[in-house]
Amino acid sequence: MTGTVAFILKGYPRLSETFIAQEIHGLEQLGLDIHIYSLRPPREPERHPVHAQIRADVTYLPERLRDDLPRVWRALRQATSRPGFKKALRRWISDMLRAPSPDRARRFGQALVLAGEITPETTHLHAHFLHTPSSVARYAAALTGLPWSCSAHARDIWTIGDWEKRAKLGEMDWLVTCTRTGCAHLAELTPTPAKVELVYHGLDLERFSPPAARAPARDGTKASDPVRLLSVGRAVEKKGFDLLLKAFASLDKGTHWRWVHIGDGSLIDPLKGQARRSGLEERITWLGACPQAQVIDQYARADLFILPSRIASDGDRDGLPNVLVEAQSQGLCCLSTRLPAISELIDDGMTGLLVPADEASALTAALAQLIGDPDLRRRLGEAGLKKVRRDFSHHTGLAKLARRFGLPPTDQSTRPAA
């Protein structure tokens, strides 16, 4: 593909979206010229090392239209003279009539600005996430006449209506998504299922080399050397951390453990309150959002990684959580739940343990088993490490994306995992 590809992201940079930054960096190395358009500025001051390696320029679209009215007004005046303005307006009005919200008005305004400020070299639009970023890309594509595509993930697939997914799939050139479950669902919504492709994110295994040796064989019997438990994930309903706290409270009081949580999120304070009421606060460390180097250090220190994912009340759910792939790349035993996408990574009883989602008693039993059996943790961790290194190198996914973007194959894009 010649020219520049405009990547439309909800926020950039974000600590929780290392996989997107890794993908952008990899595609740049393969020769893709990228300009990033972000719907909002960064929320965290920290950045991952990979962000410093990305060459792409970044343009921040107005997060709230009222805060940058001259810019929006200028874009609107330019847009009315475009041949695609009426088409874009019809699509936006149709969407508003189907599901009215102030957010849709904001996305149309952001699309106006994107279309007005896009570089002349731009030949393609690519949205990460099928909800709001793809709405901006869709309207901007109608305004400019440019083709567009999308990378779909998790919440963005399961929390918008099928009518909206059908409309977007019908207009975009192609879509990639990171789980078999999501891929099958989206392929059913389009008469051309070949435009939907499974592309796992994978890991840059050079960044995630496993530690030389794991921790000593802790089994929960020594107060002076408790089993070290770790979770990485935003404190939101779908991650199930409230369920994990219930499971912790049900463990035998003579079992010695400590839990470290990494991540921010709207439920942090309620979770801390739940831990305090359950008498667990002395066993828990809340680290908040952390840069990648600190997360990798915590993987190396931990004995067991836990992610009790569930389907949230609004339908939101995890895809294939990258933190599980990261943890397994470090030889760390993982305990999670039997959601379809997670089962694509973890073979229950072979490369980790899975329990039914939303069942605290099953989670408690699995915790007790893994805390007390360091040999089982070691076997599962080693098997998980082998699977990740065999099947989840990011070079495989990059090769598929390179083909979609029209890049020639290179040695890097086809290199097997070590």
- Predicted confidence (pLDDT) per residue in 297-327, tens digit: 999 999 999 999 999 999 988 888 999 999 9
Residue 402 and residue 370 share a domain: no
Q: Looking at 138-214, which runs of residues are DSSP E strands?
A: 148-152, 174-177, 196-198
Asked if residue 3 has pLDDT above 60, the reply is yes
- d(CA 223, CA 53) in angstroms, rounded, equals 44
Strands (E), 291-417: 304-307, 334-337, 353-355
CA distance 360 to 70: 53
Average pLDDT in the 131-159 region? 96
CATH code where residue 364 lies:
3.40.50.2000
Residue 114 class from Cβ within 10 Å (0-12 exposed, 13-18 middle, 19+ buried)? buried
pTM assigned to the model: 0.83
Shared domain check, 327 and 294: yes
Q: Which residues sit opposite 60 in a β-bridge?
A: 38
With a CB cutoff of 8 Å and minimum separation 6, the contacts of 221 are 256
Do both 123 and 251 map to the same domain?
A: no
HEC readout, 261-276: EECCCCCHHHHHHHHH
- In whole angstroms, give the CA distance from residue 32 to residue 121: 13
Q: Are residues 142 and 20 in the same domain?
A: yes
Q: What is the sign of the dihedral through the CA atoms of 13, 185, 139 and 72?
A: negative
Q: What is the mean pLDDT of the chain?
A: 93
Task: Look at residue 345 and tell me if it is in a domain.
Answer: yes
- Per residue in 73-82, pLDDT (tens digit) is 999 999 999 9
Quick one: 399 and 346 in the same domain? no
**In a shared domain, residues 303 and 399:** no
- 249, 105: one domain: no
Run of H or E residues at 259: strand 257-262
- For residue 8, what is the enclosing H or E element? strand 4-9
Domain match, 260 and 398 both: no
On whether residue 211 sits in a domain, the answer given is no
- Note down the domain range covering 294: 227-391
249 and 291 co-located in one domain: yes
Check pLDDT > 50 for residue 40.
Answer: yes
Q: Are 379 and 405 within one domain?
A: no
Query: How does residue 130 score in pLDDT terms, banded at 50, 70 and 90?
Result: very high
How many domains is the chain partitioned into structurally? 2
Model confidence at 215: pLDDT above 80: no
